[in-house]
Amino acid sequence: MQSYVLAADLGGTNLRMAAVSEKGAILSHALMPTPDAVSSSQLGGLLDQLAEECRDGIKGVGQLSAVGMGVPAPVPANFDGILTKLPNIRTLQGTDLGLLLKEVFNVPFHIENDATAAAIGEHWLGATREIDSSICVTLGTGIGGGLILNGQPLRGRDGSGGEMGHICVEPEGHPCGCGSRGCVEQYASATAITRIANEKGLFTNDAREVYTAFRKGDSRAVETFSTMARYLGIMLAGLVNTINPERIVLVGGVTAAWDAFAADLEAEIANRAYEAPALRAKLVRGVLGDNAGILGAARGAIDAWLE
């Protein structure tokens, strides 16, 4: 009988789950909006409900071997399972997620930071497969990141390994939710793109509309994306020198606007980083789309099971 893992991705907007085979095939999936002010006990019920939908999707074939979950919170190398810092889902602060997963599923489990999970997913099955060292940047509402060094994810002692959204690129710049100013998240996320376009007199509801304007040749949209590319390039040039990766993979919703910023971004990195590492670090788009994080969480579950 074939076994499978369940992998979940907890986001500020949606809670997703998939049944995934040992080889990384998504067998079924389920999704629901993350309720406002979701509580720990409510989360347990919702995970159970999504698991039921995933099981229905595969018609009860196979046996659940492990569970993996990506969370928008720091996950240290030796994580105790307690969620400490969730700026986007504050009501889950202090939740013992390890205990909760054990109660709901009673199988081995693995918890991963969501951006690190995306890096692991792309490394397992996507754009950085068989690449030893890579930088993964998640460009969405905010900016996150994950590092794969010598084939292994960098988690860090306090779970901030790979966190690159709050690298400062403008010392006296726009204030950031993290308490600092001028973080790259304030210049290159979807939220930032909308704000920058707005500052240039292009009033839109979201970054998607800024991209639509770019496609129509609107000069304010063109400038917005080159500003975004410049700041993202400043951040990545520093990391390219520091880490000397073979690949930089960009994932998340903003990558839909690839043609609006990728050339400028490459040029900025080339202008600022040392020549050899800049040439080495190939800039690519993720290939797993929304599934990168969920597949990374699945990989963690499979490893937890094999242990």
Compute CA distances 98 → 34, 41, 49, 82, whole Å: 19, 13, 18, 7
Within 10 A of 56 (CB to CB), how many other CB atoms are there?
A: 12
Rounded CA-CA distance 18/25 in Å is: 10
What's the closest the beta carbon of residue 298 comes to Zn ion, in angstroms?
A: 30
Confirm or reject binding of residue 262 to Zn ion (CB under 5 A). no
User: Applying CB under 5 A, which of residues 26, 38, 178, 222 lies at the interface with Zn ion?
Assistant: 178
Q: Based on CB atoms, which residue is closest to Zn ion, 84 or 180?
A: 180
User: Any contact of residue 168 with Zn ion (CB under 5 A)?
Assistant: no
Q: How far is the CB of 71 from Zn ion (least distance, A)?
A: 19
In angstroms, the CA 145 to CA 300 distance is 17
Q: Which is nearer to Zn ion, 252 or 286 (CB)?
A: 252
State which residue, 131 or 168, has the beta carbon closest to Zn ion. Answer: 168
Residue 187 in contact with Zn ion, rule: CB under 5 A: no
CB of 178 to Zn ion, least distance (A): 3
Measured from the CB of residue 193, what is the shortest distance to Zn ion in angstroms? 16
Core vs surface per residue 163-202: b (16+ CB within 10 A) or e: bbbbbbbeeebeebeeeeebbbbbbbbbbbbbbbbeebeb
Q: Is 176 one of the binding residues for Zn ion (CB under 5 A)? A: yes
With contacts defined by CB under 5 A, name the span among 43-51, 93-101, 117-125, 161-169 that binds Zn ion.
161-169
Closer Cβ to Zn ion, 144 or 296, answer by number: 144
Give the interface segment with Zn ion, choosing from 6-14, 169-177, 201-209, 290-298 (CB under 5 A): 169-177
Cβ count near 140 (within 10 Å) = 21
> CA angle 149-154-159, nearest 5°?
170
Q: How many helices (H) and strands (E) does the chain have?
A: 10, 10
Structure tokens, 281: 């670090």
- When asked if residue 188 is in the footprint of Zn ion (CB under 5 A), the reply is no
What residues make contact with Zn ion under the rule CB under 5 A?
Answer: 166, 176, 178, 180, 183
